[in-house]
Amino acid sequence: MSDNNRYNQRGVSAQKEDVHRAVARLDKGLYPNAFCKIYPDYLGGDEAYCNLMHADGAGTKSILAYMYWKETGDMSVWEGIAIDSIVMNIDDLLCVGATGPFTYSSTIGRNKHLIPGDVIASLINGSQAYFDRLKQYDIDVHFLGGETADVGDVVRTVIVDGTMACRMRRDKLVTTEKMKAGDVLVSLASYGQATYEDEYNSGMGSNGLTSARHELLKKEYARKYPESVDPNLPDDVVYNGSYGLTDATDTPLNVGKMILSPTRTYAPVVLKVLQQHFDKIHGIIHCSGGGQSKCLHYLPSALRVVKNNLLPVPPLFTMIQQSAKTDWKEMYQVFNMGQRLEIFTDKETAASIVEISKSFNIDAQISGYVENADHKEVVIESPYGTFSYK
């Protein structure tokens, strides 16, 4: 069975083609090539300002948290899910230069028979604790509450989403319009332990979780936790792996905690980069859905991005590839593969960005360059082959 067919049979898509078709006719905002939609200043009415709003969530990662919690009683995984929902919003907004102050509203849908009140409390309190931590790095987020709904007929376990908004000056935006031939890109690692993280991070993020969960974990979890699986899925795409949640790995984390590593925010790094080099930043890309091909959708003209010096692939993604036998080209399109943020700039500024990132104990390096082309293209030159995405 092809990898694309496996993804489709699980009801997921690396490129979300249906979603893109559904929104094709919507207004693209003030800057169509920007990473996030940018609106006029509806709230303040000032033409020098704009409004930003972004909605995202932890996705199917919450299912894994549910299983791990049931297996071990470890409540801390729910705080991680709260972080995932927050970071998937804030790091998208970082890509247009927004560094706050932000407002945040959570949206939680649960099956009350399976998700008790202490889990909800952990999600909500974990959100506030994370905002308190970000405050120490001058990232200001105001938690405005949100909605928690008991929707057991709709949601099998729990889904954790959020909406983040801010207002900022238009002359401080990063819109990708300046991306050009001659630029280089700096990749920032998604793995390791940043100065503001409590433990080793596997680099998972919050994309590709459906694939990771089913390709790594044992079939027995389908029997033990039927609520973790769509009952309409064919058996041959459900929990095909050989790992248990608490199996040891070559990292400080067990298998479950590796997949559940909270999504790393780059907010403290980007804040410092923009403070020092705003005029030299031509584009910022959050390599979430679409992985290392993500920047393709935000190129302002016919350009080719060549990634010929990416950071090493961390253990988690090698485990997924070996377990699933997924083609490496597909791996780079589904997962961040160890670098979840990339910044487009000139060579001199790139060297400074690398140093800023490393000051937070986040590995970084110049990973590629931009050149003129006949069409938009991303080329990845990796130890596993050369891959083109158009």
- Residue 372: other Cβ atoms inside 10 A: 11
| Residue range 313-327, pLDDT digits in tens | 999 999 999 999 999
- What pLDDT is stored for residue 19 in this prediction? 54
- What pLDDT is stored for residue 33 in this prediction? 87
- What pLDDT is stored for residue 3 in this prediction? 52
- What pLDDT is stored for residue 118 in this prediction? 97
The count of structural domains within the chain is: 1
Residues 6+ apart with CB under 8 A from 118: 75
Label residue 133 exposed, middle or buried (CB < 10 Å: 0-12, 13-18, 19+).
Answer: middle
Question: What does the CA dihedral 83, 103, 33, 170 come to, rounded to 10 degrees?
Answer: -140
CA dihedral (221, 223, 226, 229) positive or negative: positive
Q: What domain range includes position 264?
A: 3-389
Q: How far apart are CA 74 and CA 192, in angstroms?
A: 22
What is the CATH number for 343?
3.90.650.10
- What pLDDT is stored for residue 5 in this prediction? 56
Q: Which residues of the chain have pLDDT under 50?
A: 1-2
Q: How far apart are CA 210 and CA 208, in angstroms?
A: 6
- What pLDDT is stored for residue 1 in this prediction? 45
Token pair for residue 168?
A: 């900022």
- The amino acid sitting at 67 is M
Global confidence as pTM: 0.93
